[in-house]
Amino acid sequence: MLPLLGRGMVAGALGGLAAGLFSLLLAEPLMDKAIRAEEARSHEHEPAGGAVQHHEELFSRSTQHAGLVIALVVAGLAIGVLFAVAYALVHRRDPRGNPWPRALAFCAAAFCAVSLFPALRYPAAPPGVGDAGTVGDRQEMWLGSVVLGVLGMFLVWQVYVRLAARPVPVRQCAAAVTAVAVLALLWALPDNPDPVPVSATLLWDFRMLSLASHVLMWAVFAGVFGGLGLRALRTKAPVTAAATGYASAAPVR
């Protein structure tokens, strides 16, 4: 359990760092542009030198740029911990499987549950979009979509496991149909009430970059988590061999 926790934290920190640096380079120019557009909009609405009361800035933009990377690393660490616990729970009956395909499959499921499905239902919005008055409601909806995504992926896994007697194509099709049904279920949640007063190009670019950083985070996560799992197998094998007295017979690498 504890080695899994360690692997999850390393993979999460590296995945968060990769996503953070990627968006620092590509998404930040877009966010700065969105904030300038927002300031221009609020000046239009309050022309007579009225105080722009929307943002009293606590941090400079450059601090918020650093905050982006730090926030994603912290989030990656936390996601890594939760991932490791879920991974251990799901595989508790049979902890000795091949860690590489398991890491890839688990990361694909986690990506759908916490990244792709919520992003399809409630796509990311650039700075300047989002009413402070509705943020509580929007948080409940977003959290609802993440929770439904996670529960839905457990359902997909259960469908796949319970059809163990059927041929593989049947199991995979049933699992895929379940995943699509879970995605469709997300539209039972209420719509995002906020207007989106930014240009379509900026919005599309921002959402693509947001999704790309999610993909990057989970790709790095899967590679590191699976790779560390394989390495643990390799380093553990010679120890058991030595304990049973086969080490001297093994070829020296």
Partner 1 sequence: MSTATPAHSSAQSGTAAIQSATIETRDWLIAAAAAIVALIALYAVFMDNGSLISATGDYLHEFAHDGRHLFGAPCH
- In the complex, which residues of this chain contact partner 1 (CB under 8 A)? 1-2, 5, 20, 23, 27-28, 31, 57-59, 63-65, 67-72, 74-75, 77-79, 81-82, 84-85, 88, 115, 118-119, 122-127, 130-132, 135-136, 138-139, 141-143, 209-210, 213-214
**Tokens 């549950």 belong to which residue?**
113
Q: Which residues contact 98 (CB under 8 A, 6 or more apart)?
A: none
C-alpha–C-alpha distance, residues 159 and 176, integer Å: 10
Report the candidate in 139, 149, 137 with the shortest Cα–Cα distance to residue 184: 149
Closest to partner 1 by CB, 103 or 175? 103
Closest to partner 1 by CB, 132 or 200? 132
SS3 222: helix
Closest to partner 1 by CB, 41 or 166? 41
Q: How far is the CB of 165 from partner 1 (least distance, A)?
A: 31
C-alpha–C-alpha distance, residues 16 and 18, integer Å: 5
Q: How far is the CB of 106 from partner 1 (least distance, A)?
A: 16
Closest to partner 1 by CB, 20 or 226? 20
- C-beta neighbour count of 64 within 10 angstroms: 17
Closest to partner 1 by CB, 78 or 174? 78
**The token pair that represents 77 in the structure block:** 């660490």
Q: How far is the CB of 8 from partner 1 (least distance, A)?
A: 9
Q: How far is the CB of 75 from partner 1 (least distance, A)?
A: 5
Q: How far is the CB of 199 from partner 1 (least distance, A)?
A: 16
- Tell me which DSSP letter residue 97 carries: S
244 φ/ψ angles, rounded to the nearest 5 degrees: -95, 0
Q: How far is the CB of 248 from partner 1 (least distance, A)?
A: 27
C-alpha–C-alpha distance, residues 110 and 113, integer Å: 5
CA distances from 225 to 80, 92, 138 (A): 9, 17, 32
Where residue 114 falls (left for φ over 0; alpha for ψ -120 to 50; beta otherwise) is alpha
Q: How far is the CB of 250 from partner 1 (least distance, A)?
A: 27
